[in-house]
Structure 1
Amino acid sequence: MPTLLRRLRRRILTPDVSQTRLSTRGFHEKDHASRHLLETVGETFLYGYARIAEAATPADAVTALENVPARFRGFAYEGATMACAVLDGLPFGRTDNVRRFLAGPGDPHVYMAYVGVGWAMARLPRLRWSALYAPDPVLRWLVLDGYGFHQAYFRTRDYVHGQRRDTVVPWRPDAENAYAGNAFDQGIGRALWFVCGTDADRVATTVEGFAPQRRADLYSGVGLAATYAGGADAGELTRLLHRAGEHRAAVSQGSAFAASARVRAGLENTHTDLATGVLCAMTAKEAAEQCDRTRPAAGDVPGVAYETWRSRLRDVFAVVS
């Protein structure tokens, strides 16, 4: 495809950056620093998306993605994978962009990549969902996590204030759809960190407004976002853990997942250790090691292996805390 046509494709497919502004979304602004952080996350996501939308192949975007500062690079890869999935879902062109991306530069960022596929799911018609590539039977639930995040981020009135929950998402013929609502809520929980502007008390109050049976999954998503995106100091994170009450271990589990994602990609930073130090009572690398140790092999356990993994981690942190 000629360069001019690829640039036109980027302009057509890439959402406007104004959609990442807290004021546009109507999200809470805790302070200038948190607003700048969250808006930079959104801008970086769209930067990664645009690089793929304009590239001849996913590999051609790698240099631009790797030049993103380490704190935000994972979000660039998340956006890049969304673009790959959107291209796969179009009724023309190649349909193996995500496969090639995950087999190459996207592999260290596999957690974020699967979430990015979920963003694409929210933007594609259902009849094209079968084109989405998410082969790992354990991690593929992160696709529905990404889908839930997207809905809460862009349709906040319905999914946060109205507490709508998509419990059945027919995205794969072999998916255990009874678990779809749980994965969806984990994504909503991550989005709450953005909707509430990284304000730990506001996040906790919002979670407490949801039905009790949804709160563990929501808090898991909150813990992941609070660790991966950041924006809260030790005191705020301590209050979040305290407010979570019986769901403290869920917050810790989400935090450990975030640490694992950053450590795997070589993107851990001082905030990662700060967050896991409070939420997991261990370093980011130690939390990531717990994820590696407890992850089940697909087929080795009955039911949803992903939830078995999360449950094992909650048990770890129930003892630690």
Structure 2
Amino acid sequence: MPTLAGALRRRLLMPDLSEVTFDKRGFHERDPRARLLLEHSGRQFLAGFGHAMDGRDMDDTRRLLETVERPFRGFAYEGASMAFTLTDVMTPWRRTRVRAFLDGPGSPHVYMAYVGIGWAMARLPRPLRRGIAVPDPLLRWLAIDGYGFHQAYFATQRYVREKRAPGVRAPWADPSGYAERVADQGIGRALWFVCGADVERLATVIGEFAPARRSDLWSGAGLAAAYAGGIEADEAETLLKLATGFRGELAQGCAFAAEARLRADLVTPDTRTAAQVFCRTSVEAAAAVTQDALVDLPSDGPVPAYELWRQRIRAAFEDVGG
């Protein structure tokens, strides 16, 4: 049973389930199967949020999160991370939950956990963002990705149809403006949902953005197609063809998804299909590329380490698709 405090936090902070429906969001429906899959991903995100609020301690939270269906469990851990971030910031006298989560049950899902931190960042007033825990100097960029996803998912008119820049501000972001690029990767992930996993619509929408933004949008699209799924082999091949000029970015995003699912032992058939098409290799080999690219990766300098990481992965797949 949830504690009284947990039930109160859930009531005050947890978004309503209707917020992740296509009807509420106005997303494109390619077909009922894709819609149900993507809506269910959102529902399991919110389930994870609730489990974090209900858990008596980290062991109890882990137990609750592990009840979520395996293909969607990563989304639940992402939601839990958002919940812990919000509660940490709102109870500064006990600001330990996020770190305990990252070091404990969230460790196998660390990529999704950092993305969840970004969701919380988007919901918090700017002054309160200084209280967010982002201990890993490389993976904290994924919180910016999560911020971009959140903005495009919940404010689609502004950030997708009107193409406004995300305008991300975070205490740890460099002053060069690179955070905007990482947020665009998150927007690219959101486009997979906004477009209802319709590959032709996705390519059209990305093509409507300014040319300088398309690289990061394709990276995010590849990540979402491979992680969230909803794509058949023939559709993946079509998307690869439509990504002319950005196939390395598509593969890089797919490799990120492969590593995230493999690390958490949550690989799905859709992830295997995406890796085979976008990266022309197995999930295991695509994930290994992301780890090899970390070897001797320099610390943040004129080019952020996160961008160097992405560049190395793209270079490994530069010949994909001809």
- Alignment TM class, shorter chain as reference: over 0.9
- The answer on whether the counterparts of 1:78 and 1:115 sit within 8 Å (CA) in structure 2 is yes
Paired position in structure 2 for 1:273: 272
Paired position in structure 2 for 1:90: 90
| 1:37/1:93 CA distance change after superposition, 3 Å | farther
- The answer on whether the counterparts of 1:71 and 1:267 sit within 8 Å (CA) in structure 2 is yes
TM-score by length of 2: 0.95
The aligned runs of 1:1-321 (5 Å cut-off) are 3-167=3-167, 169-173=168-172, 175-296=174-295, 299-300=298-299, 302=301, 303-321=303-321
**What letter matches 1:290 in structure 2?**
V
- The answer on whether the counterparts of 2:222 and 2:249 sit within 8 Å (CA) in structure 1 is yes
Distance 1:300 1:133 in 2: 19
Distance 2:61 2:220 in 1: 29
Residue-by-residue CA offset, 1:201-233 (whole Å, 9 max, x unaligned): 100000000001100000000000000000011
| 1:176/1:308 CA distance change after superposition, 3 Å | farther
Distance 2:147 2:282 in 1: 29
Distance 1:296 1:144 in 2: 23
Residue-by-residue CA offset, 1:265-292 (whole Å, 9 max, x unaligned): 1111222111100010001010000100
Per the TM alignment, residue 93 of structure 1 is displaced from its structure 2 partner at its CA by 5.0
Q: Alpha carbon RMSD of aligned pairs, Å? A: 1.5
Distance 1:47 1:177 in 2: 37
- The answer on whether the counterparts of 2:77 and 2:112 sit within 8 Å (CA) in structure 1 is yes
- The answer on whether the counterparts of 2:81 and 2:113 sit within 8 Å (CA) in structure 1 is yes
Distance 2:87 2:38 in 1: 26
Distance 1:93 1:31 in 2: 48
- What is the DSSP-based 3-state SS (H/G/I as helix, E as strand, rest coil) of the residue aligned with 2:15? coil
Q: Percent identical across equivalent pairs?
A: 49
Distance 1:212 1:244 in 2: 13
Distance 2:299 2:166 in 1: 28
- What is the DSSP-based 3-state SS (H/G/I as helix, E as strand, rest coil) of the residue aligned with 1:27? coil
**What letter matches 1:277 in structure 2?**
Q
Distance 2:15 2:290 in 1: 34
- The answer on whether the counterparts of 1:296 and 1:308 sit within 8 Å (CA) in structure 2 is no
Distance 1:301 1:188 in 2: 23
- What is the DSSP-based 3-state SS (H/G/I as helix, E as strand, rest coil) of the residue aligned with 2:114? helix
Answer with 170-179 or 217-226: which moved more.
170-179
Residue-by-residue CA offset, 1:281-314 (whole Å, 9 max, x unaligned): 0010100001000125564574201100100111
Distance 2:143 2:176 in 1: 13
- What is the DSSP-based 3-state SS (H/G/I as helix, E as strand, rest coil) of the residue aligned with 2:130? helix
Per the TM alignment, residue 131 of structure 1 is displaced from its structure 2 partner at its CA by 1.0
Distance 1:269 1:180 in 2: 30
Distance 2:271 2:300 in 1: 31
Answer with 27-36 or 50-59: which moved more.
50-59
Per the TM alignment, residue 14 of structure 1 is displaced from its structure 2 partner at its CA by 0.8
Per the TM alignment, residue 320 of structure 1 is displaced from its structure 2 partner at its CA by 4.3
- The answer on whether the counterparts of 1:13 and 1:53 sit within 8 Å (CA) in structure 2 is no
- The answer on whether the counterparts of 1:176 and 1:304 sit within 8 Å (CA) in structure 2 is no
Structure 1's unaligned 5+ residue stretches are none
Answer with 85-94 or 238-247: which moved more.
85-94
Distance 1:268 1:174 in 2: 31
